[in-house]
């Protein structure tokens, strides 16, 4: 087990800078997820940590030791690839034991460690099979087994679940998390799927355009996104964002959106006259009767029941608002409704920079 430290890390590909001075720590035993849209540099950062890409600037340290000029094999890391990257001409057992074989470990040790990993991952019946004879989920487990067998300081996962179907993905998500809780090995996990990030991570680093936008626990990021990008990236369905101007009327602040629609605002969310982006999560918008005082008038466009919850798409002025409610409201498309918002749940961001304002 080990900590990982990024210090002012940069990456340039032929004159184009793709990683702009990233610095943060990953604690010993932590499950850190790097999440962001494609092209944000998360995989590049992971590959730099793995030693598969050169580090153009700054330092990366594992357990306090700078690894910039160290070969992959000397970094004591194990990586699980999106494409599994299993050796097709080797059996499952040989695949898992390959790294030990290269290190000239005694045959007995190899067998013992492979057997142990196979037991953890329920791969015992498949040890003599070849990768082509396995399903996608089993292959993914072999790839994890190959990593476990090495007992590395750090596990690296590069979008390991992207090639699996939706159901298997959820199952494997649970398995990886359980595995981490059991082995407690420091883990760096790259994904573009914010649900994966939220459900698995101890902490999440949200990346965008080669920069880390925010680092925090999943619920931190959800409850207090540091900027508009994080606010819209984390959470599904995404946060509603309404652009407008802060106005003070009757002593309280509100947002005046296009068409003069007024959205209630808590205290401290920007100054009078400031242009802002007003964010509210779908579960913090509530249905009210159209004539409720202070409610925003709207018209239901789509009703999407999912069983436990119902999602509604509501047209309010020029914007469409998604709202999520428990239970099964008796409404139909075309109904006129009111939308009420709990002002304490509102997030306000500066229009220009996207930075979070005040409270």
Question: Applying CB under 8 A, which residues contact other proteins?
Answer: 50-52, 71-73, 77-79, 81, 83, 85-89, 98-99, 102-103, 146, 150
Shortest distance (Å) from residue 9 CB to other proteins = 19
Record the tokens describing residue 340, joined without a space.
């009420």
In angstroms, the CA 135 to CA 147 distance is 19
Shortest distance (Å) from residue 62 CB to other proteins = 13
Judged by beta carbon, residue 150 or residue 169, the one nearer other proteins is 150
Residue 355 has a CB neighbour count (10 Å cut-off) of: 11
Cα dist from 159 to 68, 162, 190, whole Å: 23, 6, 5
Judged by beta carbon, residue 191 or residue 194, the one nearer other proteins is 191
Strands of the sheet containing 285-288, edge to edge, are: 285-288, 336-341, 296-305, 309-316, 319-326
Shortest distance (Å) from residue 72 CB to other proteins = 5
Judged by beta carbon, residue 96 or residue 257, the one nearer other proteins is 96
Judged by beta carbon, residue 89 or residue 248, the one nearer other proteins is 89
Shortest distance (Å) from residue 160 CB to other proteins = 12
Shortest distance (Å) from residue 44 CB to other proteins = 13
In angstroms, the CA 309 to CA 8 distance is 44
3-state helix, strand, coil in the chain (%, to 5): 30, 35, 35
Judged by beta carbon, residue 95 or residue 191, the one nearer other proteins is 95
Judged by beta carbon, residue 98 or residue 263, the one nearer other proteins is 98
In angstroms, the CA 331 to CA 104 distance is 69
Shortest distance (Å) from residue 89 CB to other proteins = 4
In angstroms, the CA 32 to CA 63 distance is 15
CA dihedral defined by 173, 177, 179, 181, rounded to 10 degrees? -170
């Amino acid at each position: 087990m080990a900590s990982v430290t990024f210090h002012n890390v940069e990456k340039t590909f032929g004159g184009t800078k793709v990683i702009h001075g990233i610095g943060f720590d990953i604690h010993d035993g932590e499950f850190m997820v790097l999440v962001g849209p494609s092209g944000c540099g998360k995989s590049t950062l992971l590959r730099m940590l793995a030693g598969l890409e050169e580090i153009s600037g700054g330092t990366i340290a594992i357990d306090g030791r700078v690894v910039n000029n160290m070969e992959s094999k000397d970094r004591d890391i194990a990586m699980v690839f999106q494409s599994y990257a299993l050796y097709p001409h080797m059996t499952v057992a040989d695949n898992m034991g390959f790294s030990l074989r290269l290190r000239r470990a005694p045959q007995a040790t190899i067998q013992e460690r492979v057997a142990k990993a196979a037991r953890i991952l329920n791969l015992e019946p498949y040890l003599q099979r070849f990768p082509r004879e396995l399903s996608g989920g089993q292959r993914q487990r072999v790839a994890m087994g190959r990593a476990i067998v090495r007992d590395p300081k750090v596990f690296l996962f590069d979008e390991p679940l992207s090639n699996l179907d939706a159901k298997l993905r959820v199952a494997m998500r649970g398995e990886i998390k359980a595995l981490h809780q059991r082995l407690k090995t420091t883990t760096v996990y790259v994904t573009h799927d914010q649900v994966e990030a939220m459900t698995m991570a101890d902490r999440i680093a949200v990346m965008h355009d080669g920069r880390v936008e925010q680092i925090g626990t999943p619920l931190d990021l959800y409850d207090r996104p540091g900027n508009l990008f994080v606010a819209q990236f984390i959470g599904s369905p995404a946060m509603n964002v309404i652009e407008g101007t802060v106005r003070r009327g009757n002593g309280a602040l509100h947002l005046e959106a296009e068409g003069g629609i007024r959205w209630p605002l808590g205290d401290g969310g920007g100054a009078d006259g400031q242009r802002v982006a007003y964010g509210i999560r779908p579960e913090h918008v509530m249905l009210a009767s159209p004539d409720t005082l202070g409610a925003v008038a709207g018209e239901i466009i789509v009703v999407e029941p999912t069983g436990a919850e119902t999602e509604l798409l509501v047209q309010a002025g020029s914007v469409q608002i998604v709202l999520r409610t428990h239970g099964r409201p008796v409404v139909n498309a075309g109904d006129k409704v009111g939308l009420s918002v709990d002002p304490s749940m509102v997030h306000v961001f500066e229009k220009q920079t996207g930075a979070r304002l005040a409270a």
